Amino acid sequence: MAVTGPGSPVAISTGKVEITPAAGYFMGGYGTDEPRTAGGEAKQPLYARCFALWENGLRGVIVTAEVLAIPPTMHHAIRDRVTALDVNGISVASSYFAVTATHTHNGPVLIEELNPFMAYNLTDLTEVEAYSSWLTDRIVDLVRTTLGAPRTPCTLDYQVGQESFSYNREGLAYVERDVPILAARDLTGQPVAVLFSYGCHPVAAGGLRQWDSDYPGIATAMIEKATGGFAMFLLGPAGDQDPVRQPVLAPGWDGMVTYGTQLGQTVLDAIAGAGRLLTAPNQAALSWVDLPLDIDDSAANIAQVSADFQARLDYTNPGYPGWKKRHASVMIDQVASRSFRKSIPLPLQVWTLQGTPPLRLVLTGGELVSGYAVYLRRRYGGTDGVWVMGYANEVAAYIPSDELLFVSPGLQYACGWDPDFPGIGGGAMCVYGWLGRFVGRPPGSANDGVEQIIINQLTSMLG
């Protein structure tokens, strides 16, 4: 077996396919009572990208899709089909495969998440199911093609840039600044592929009526044009991070271009010089945790929950969000049939790239808030030692911290409850379609909540 170490040549293969739906298809990202459809030519084409890394065999495959989120059913279908591939004797191990969403809010509606009925008032899902099936096929074909594509010998190096256009929209102290950057350089030292990240919600464009990939797409296209190579954006812990709003950067095309160009230039400035040398991933782990919802299913409480949802459904205030009413109508039926879920599975994935120090890539499902990244960075040497990403593999909910779950008065969207009826699901849980919020651990309690479950599992995976 060849002896390898940081700076030793590895190889990469890459691929990219367009996934832009036709004009007239439904747009996802913002709760609405009238389905939003795309009109005219796309502002930006939407793409799926694939990056495969080789060192004494296949060492890792990452796919990104410029969509809001990968629904659980699609994730499982993609993973099962990708890991069943045999491309000239090459197969993909499940722990070394990840599929992520860039979370553009002007991309296509997909099945399940956000719930098409609750979020967008869609009742006929024929087109949604057809596009989601087509996209699944498209991603699997992209991986197959990339595995069979020519490989470029490279070295890998890593560094961390800085950005400043995020703020914490939930009112917490944490603000994302770090921009992790992994560059694959050919043997002349030229970058041929760049993976980069930032923790900021891709909502700089606002709710346009044309397809666009928001600021990540602007940055990715800029890097590809400047280098002549391949670029991939991986969204960081953006669940509580939004672009800073200024009068000259209100939501719209200009603000999106400004922030995307700013991020792209930060990456280009960084890769003008090489960072810390790394190897391909030599350790990988994929596991699942079950996150409990705060649901008391005793007869008395279930009766109260049903009454609370009915009261929400009966609100006559014309300004009350329709998506909360539609959520209430579905939850009333689930309570009556006792068909509601009491927990949500969450995939957690870790890759380790050896170097001095090693780099651990953490990819979590869901809309991860930044507090998790703050904890992991403190424990594992900052962003130099751990690169934290959300929106990976599947997105079934926001993943709030205890600080959000116990915040008062509970107006924060990501916490999953509202002060009018704190005993039932509110905020983001309405568009994701869950009965209650997540279980937290109150101060002084010894019982684990979702924060402790996630941190404990990641700690065991990271070592």
Residues 405-426: tens digit of each pLDDT:
988 666 689 999 998 898 999 9
Residue 43 has pLDDT above 90, yes or no: no
What pLDDT is recorded for position 249?
66
* Span 383-390, average pLDDT: 98
| C-beta separation of 246 from 383 below 8 A | no
342 neighbors 329 (Cβ within 8 angstroms):
no
Do the Cβ atoms of 120 and 28 come closer than 8 Å?
A: yes
pLDDT at residue 7, as a whole number:
67
In this prediction, residue 247 carries a pLDDT of 63
- What integer is the mean pLDDT of 279-307? 95
Q: pLDDT-derived band of residue 358, with 50, 70 and 90 as boundaries?
A: very high
Residues β-bridged to residue 446: none
Predicted confidence (pLDDT) per residue in 175-234, tens digit: 999 999 999 999 999 999 999 999 999 999 998 899 999 999 999 999 999 999 999 999
Confidence of residue 41 (pLDDT cuts 50, 70, 90): confident
* Assigned token pair, 234: 């991986």
pTM, two decimals, is: 0.96
Q: Which distant-in-sequence residues (6+ apart) come within 8 Å of 370 by Cβ?
A: 168, 172, 174, 175, 176, 199, 237, 238, 239, 240, 241
Question: Is residue 4 over pLDDT 70?
Answer: no
- Percent of the chain having pLDDT more than 70? 97
Tokens of 80: 């099962």
With CA atoms as reference, report the closest residue to 24 among 36, 35, 39, 34: 39
- Tell whether the model's pLDDT for residue 267 goes beyond 70: yes
Q: Is the pLDDT of residue 2 over 50?
A: no
Average pLDDT value for residue range 39-47: 91
Q: Where are the domains of the chain?
A: 283-289+341-462, 296-337
Q: Does residue 168 surpass a pLDDT of 90?
A: yes
Ranking 86-95, 97-106, 215-224, 443-452 by mean pLDDT, the lowest is 443-452
Total Cβ atoms within 10 A of residue 172: 19
Q: Would you say 405 and 437 are in contact if contact means Cβ atoms under 8 Å apart?
A: yes
The DSSP bridge pattern shows strands 178-185 and 152-162 to be antiparallel
Give me the chain's average pLDDT, please: 94
Residue 409: per-residue pLDDT: 65
The pLDDT of residue 402 is above 80: yes
pLDDT digits over 52-84, tens only?
999 999 999 999 999 999 999 999 999 999 999
The mean pLDDT value for 373-393 works out to: 98
pLDDT in tens, 235-263: 999 999 999 987 666 778 888 999 999 99
Query: What six digits make up the tokens of 40?
Result: 């005219």
- In this predicted model, which residue has the larger pLDDT, 313 or 42? 313
Contact 141, 103 (CB under 8 A): no
- Residue 318's pLDDT band, with cuts at 50, 70 and 90, is confident
What pLDDT score was predicted for residue 141?
98
Contact (Cβ atoms closer than 8 angstroms) between residue 423 and residue 249:
no
Does pLDDT of 131 surpass 70? yes
